[in-house]
């Protein structure tokens, strides 16, 4: 089964004819993802590496029954692209594009949530279900199929941890990058809920970072609702208070949202927390070994 992307995924790439869109779109296709369409206004009728391009998402959905969209358009067109996808009936939106104004994302979140649309991002690396589908920019060669669900706010940190897992012989059901912006379409809790329900996932590794309170919420959710073991990693123990560290998500306000506070919250809910990517991978191996 896996979550978010799998063999049932029929992908439309919004912005397929752009340089990044075509690079990653065709890369996803070569991986085996069922990339059925691209959308670029004014370029309907063309194709990119055999993938037909349409003027509108509605046309793409009508012709190809696309059910998932990957968004690779410039920031100022991204909100429009997300609305277009959702209104055309797309059920899963993966927004790689970054730089969306937070107020726009606020409205998008409020708009799509009651519709039951699954969204990752903006500013996220996408989702990869090894052996099934890769939607986004995650380097698939680092990962192998397996039973660990991996969810993270960060891109390269995810790859680092995935790499360490692979080296210990552990594979993944799905790797999910939720994105580091202040408002993203899916929270840790949203993804943990899906992992809990997924029959291919047996354990979960959660990769958080300083700022916000999503890790704390995840801790409470894990304690209350999860039967599958979760181990966690939090980045930013040495980040000084009040400094912005690149991710808009990683702003510390007051004492809440620190790595230490998050670690304590998770441990209080029975989640083991590693202090380095290497350690969290070993914890995951422990858990997997204990349950094997």
Partner 1 sequence: MDLYEYQGKELSRRYGIPVSEGRLATTPDEARAAAEELGGQVVVKAQVLTGGRGKAGGIKLAEGPDDARAKAEQILGLDIRGHVVRKLWIERASEIAKEYYLSITFDRGAKKPLLMLTTQGGIDIEEVAEKSPEALARLHVDPLEGFQPYQARRLIYGAGIDDPNEQKQVLALVGKLYEAFVGCDAMLCEVNPLIVTPQGEVKALDSKFSVDDNALYKHPEIAEMRDLDAAPAEERAAREKGVTYVKLDGEVGILGNGAGLVMSTLDVIALAGGRPANFCDLGGGGDAQGVVDALEVIGADPQVRSIFFNIFGGITRCDEVARGILQALDRMTIEHPIVVRLDGTNAEEGREILAEASPPNLHAEPTMLEAAGRAVEFAR
Kindly tell me which of 158 and 173 has the beta carbon lying closer to partner 1: 158
Q: Among the options 24, 103, 163, 247, which is catalytic?
A: 247
We find the least distance from the C-beta atom of residue 208 to partner 1, in angstroms, to be 9
Pairing of strands 145-152, 35-39: unpaired
Please say whether the beta carbons of 271 and 219 come within 8 A.
Answer: yes
Three-state DSSP state, 113: helix
Q: Which CB sits closer to partner 1, 22 or 198?
A: 22
DSSP string of 184-220? -SS-HHHHHHHHHH-TT--EEEEEEESSSSHHHHHHH
H-assigned helices in the chain:
19-31, 57-64, 75-87, 102-112, 156-167, 188-197, 214-225, 259-268, 277-291
Q: How far is the CB of 32 from partner 1 (least distance, A)?
A: 18
CB of 242 to partner 1, least distance (A): 9
Residue 203 Cβ, how far from partner 1 at the closest point, in Å? 21
Q: Which is nearer to partner 1, 139 or 171 (CB)?
A: 139
Identify any residues that bridge with 37 across adjacent strands, giving them in sequence order: 12
CA distance 46 to 64: 15
CB of 22 to partner 1, least distance (A): 14
Please say whether the beta carbons of 265 and 216 come within 8 A: yes
Contacts of 289 (CB under 8 A, 6+ apart): none
Residue the block writes with tokens 């059901």 = 173
Question: Cα–Cα distance between 211 and 223 in angstroms, integer?
Answer: 21
Q: How far apart are CA 149 and CA 167, in angstroms?
A: 16
Active site residue 247: yes
Nearer to partner 1, 65 or 243 (CB): 243
Closer CB to partner 1, residue 1 or residue 245?
A: 245
Residues tagged active-site: 247
């Amino acid at each position: 089964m896996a979550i978010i992307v799998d063999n049932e995924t029929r992908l439309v790439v919004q912005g397929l004819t752009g340089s990044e869109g075509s690079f990653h779109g065709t890369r996803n296709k070569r991986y085996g993802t069922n990339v059925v369409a691209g959308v670029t206004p004014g370029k309907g009728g063309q194709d990119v590496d055999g993938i037909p391009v349409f003027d509108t998402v509605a046309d793409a959905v009508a012709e190809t029954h696309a059910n998932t969209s990957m968004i690779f358009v410039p920031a100022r067109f991204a909100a429009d692209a997300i609305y277009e996808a959702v209104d055309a009936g797309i059920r899963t939106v993966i927004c790689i594009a970054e730089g969306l104004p937070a107020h726009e994302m606020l409205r998008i979140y409020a708009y799509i949530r009651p519709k039951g649309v699954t969204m990752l991002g903006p500013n996220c690396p996408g989702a990869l279900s090894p052996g099934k589908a890769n939607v986004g920019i995650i380097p698939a060669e680092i990962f192998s199929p397996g039973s660990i669900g991996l969810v993270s706010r960060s891109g390269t940190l995810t790859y680092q941890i995935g790499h360490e897992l692979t080296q210990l012989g552990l594979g993944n059901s799905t790797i999910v990058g939720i994105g580091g912006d202040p408002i993203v379409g899916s929270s840790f809790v949203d993804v943990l809920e899906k992992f809990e329900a997924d029959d291919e996932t047996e354990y979960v590794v959660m990769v958080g970072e300083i700022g916000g309170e999503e890790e704390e919420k995840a801790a409470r959710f894990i304690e209350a609702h999860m039967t599958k073991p979760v181990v966690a990693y939090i980045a930013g123990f040495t980040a000084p208070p009040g400094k912005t560290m690149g991710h808009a998500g990683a702003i510390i306000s007051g004492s809440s949202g620190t790595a230490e506070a998050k670690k304590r919250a998770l441990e209080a809910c029975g989640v083991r927390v590693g202090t380095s990517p290497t350690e969290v991978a070993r914890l995951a191996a422990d858990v997997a070994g204990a349950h094997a």
